[in-house]
């Protein structure tokens, strides 16, 4: 029953989750995860594919046997003809009927590559033409990296301009910080897992930026709606209004993330894991991790950072002070709504603005009604002045 009640409150936006009030916890967690990611970059580094590190690719028909047998044959050929080169990665590529095994090796000269292909073909009794091969220069990977970084910078600049025009610069700072944290954490997980970095990986990183931005804009739009004209009343602080917006948009963000993660999860776990489509795992992992991290970063990082920046604004500081001063007076019994529950700065409960506004007008127990008496009525007598109804004064 408790779980069903929580789900129902989430759908109505009434869960009362205290996200903004615990922003120090979220900042600490984000900082720790970012530190782990940076250490992973420095110690484990990335497993660069031949598109970035340079190298050779040797393709053997899958009809020769298992992937392990093909890899062992290529290793043996490299030991004799490859001048100390070795297999970096091995995977099965292709569809039904024309699939093959692809072994990526370190850099080989043209003569060494031809000798290795001839040795592999002889090992399996195949024509040399059936063993494919290609060579990729490291310069190509450098060009891809430069263009990807340039695309990232242009994207972030455009996002900043849009958010400043659509919202304000503080929201732009919170959104871009969330996007950068999303990239760092996704790259850290990618480094820890040890998947090979390919052009598909770069495409996946650029793709998750758009998804992460969508999540942030949805939350910020609700915050802007809740905080419009907030300084005109003393019912909510800015942090409480922002926290209410998170609760109101939480289920929408959760549903969007789940719907997006289901097909990506199928791509990663079923396509790459179960069917062995190795070319899908690079793209699938970065999309799956990036979309999952985007949901949490938009909720636990972007909005708390926005509140932190807004609370430094003099106008919001003065408003928050008025709210807390009024609340403290009510708690001391100086107001007429002493028993009315008021929200704290931690925004643990959803606030009813109408109830809070009416609380100040509620009379104390035993107090005389504050309504005015009818004009000319004194001592409970009618304005007519006579003892008898309708009597005339003589």
d(CA 15, CA 6): 7
264-281 CB burial, b ≥16 within 10 A, e <16: bbebbeebbeeeebbbbb
d(CA 33, CA 50): 29
Instruction: Answer yes or no: are the C-beta atoms of 58 and 126 closer than 8 Å.
Output: no
Instruction: Answer yes or no: are the C-beta atoms of 271 and 277 closer than 8 Å.
Output: yes
**Could you read off the pLDDT of 318-361 as tens digits, one per residue?**
999 999 988 888 888 765 444 444 444 444 333 444 334 334 43
| Mean per-residue pLDDT over the chain, rounded | 78
**Could you read off the pLDDT of 87-139 as tens digits, one per residue?**
887 877 765 557 788 888 888 888 888 899 999 998 888 888 888 888 877 66
- Angle (CA) 94-96-101 rounded to 5° is 40
Rg of the chain's alpha carbons, rounded to an integer?
A: 33
- Read off the tokens for 9: 């409150």
Average pLDDT over residues 8-28: 80
d(CA 204, CA 148): 11
**pLDDT for residue 362 is more than 70:** no
Say what the pLDDT of residue 91 is. Answer: 79
């Amino acid at each position: 029953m408790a779980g069903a009640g929580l789900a129902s409150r989430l759908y109505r936006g009434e869960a009362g989750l205290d996200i903004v009030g615990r922003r120090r916890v979220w900042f600490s967690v984000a900082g720790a995860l970012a530190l782990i990611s940076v250490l992973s970059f420095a110690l484990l580094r990335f497993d660069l594919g031949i598109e970035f590190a340079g190298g050779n690719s040797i393709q053997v028909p899958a009809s020769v046997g298992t992937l392990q047998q093909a890899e062992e044959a290529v290793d043996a050929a490299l030991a004799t003809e490859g001048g100390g080169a070795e297999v970096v990665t091995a995977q099965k590529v292709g569809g039904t009927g024309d699939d093959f095994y692809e072994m990526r090796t370190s850099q080989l000269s043209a003569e060494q590559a031809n000798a290795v292909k001839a040795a592999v073909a002889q090992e399996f009794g195949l024509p040399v033409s059936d063993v494919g091969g290609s060579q990729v220069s490291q310069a190509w990977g450098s060009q891809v990296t430069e263009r990807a970084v340039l695309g990232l910078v242009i994207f972030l600049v455009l996002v900043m301009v849009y958010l400043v025009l659509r919202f304000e610069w503080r929201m732009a700072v919170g959104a871009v910080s969330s996007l950068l944290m999303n990239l760092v954490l996704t790259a850290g997980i990618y480094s820890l897992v040890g998947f090979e970095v390919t052009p598909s990986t770069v495409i996946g990183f650029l793709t998750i930026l758009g998804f992460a931005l969508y999540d942030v804009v949805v939350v910020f739009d609700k915050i802007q709606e809740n905080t419009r004209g907030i300084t005109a009343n003393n019912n909510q602080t800015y942090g409480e209004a922002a926290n209410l917006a998170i609760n109101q948009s939480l289920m929408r963000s959760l549903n969007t993330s789940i719907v997006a993660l289901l097909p990506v999860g199928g791509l990663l776990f079923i396509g790459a894991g179960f069917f062995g489509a190795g070319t899908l795992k690079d793209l699938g992992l970065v999309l799956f991790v990036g979309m999952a991290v985007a949901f949490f970063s938009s909720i636990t990082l972007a909005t708390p950072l926005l509140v932190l920046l807004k609370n430094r604004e003099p106008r919001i500081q003065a408003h928050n002070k008025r709210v807390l001063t009024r609340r403290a007076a009510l708690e001391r019994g100086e107001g007429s709504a002493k028993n009315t529950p008021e929200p704290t700065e931690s925004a643990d409960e959803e606030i009813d603005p109408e109830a809070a506004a009416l609380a100040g007008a509620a009379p104390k127990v035993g107090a005389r009604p504050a309504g005015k008496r009818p004009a000319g009525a004194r001592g409970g007598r009618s304005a007519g002045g006579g003892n008898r109804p309708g009597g005339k004064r003589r």
